[in-house]
Structure 1
């Protein structure tokens, strides 16, 4: 089951590393697919195994998402994204 994707504000508020489920949400894929991609060596960003858990460094995740720098105010980005989506729907 695919969880809802992370919002802009949630992405920009991530800690230094995230668990696989959170990374999967950010990428818009289900956790099962994320595990399969790791097993075949095709996960889209570097993965660190810590014991029985996987951790994904947030900097690499953001880079994979095409985000080079975090905005000063993540809430403003969220508002801007909603505005852009409304403009697209109206046109």
Structure 2
């Protein structure tokens, strides 16, 4: 995904989108999530995971870049 696409994501995204942003596969992403080792904050909703986009931005060091231009 491009930087602009990542910065325009909604407040939370599904785990598949988070995996795509980090460049990790489905199995690895779910394993990391289940073990509590995912590279950013997750919210568990029932049996699904939601990736917190603001934390994803921080993990990629895009948090400060969003306001700059």
Residue in 2 that maps onto 1:37 = 32
What residue is the counterpart of 2:13 in the other structure? 18
TM-score (norm: length of structure 1): 0.67
Which residue does 1:27 correspond to in 2? 22
Moved over 2 A (4+): none
Q: Where do 5+ consecutive residues of structure 2 fail to align?
A: none
**If you compute each CA radius of gyration, which structure gives the higher value, 1 or 2?**
1
Query: Which is richer in strand?
Result: 2
Cα RMSD (Å) of the superposition? 1.5
| Bigger fraction of residues in helix | 1
Whole-angstrom CA distance in 1 between matches of 2:68 and 2:7: 10
Counterpart for residue 9 of structure 1 = 4
- Taking the TM superposition and a 5 Å limit, the aligned residue runs for 1:1-91 are 6-69=1-64, 70-71=66-67
TM-score (norm 2): 0.86
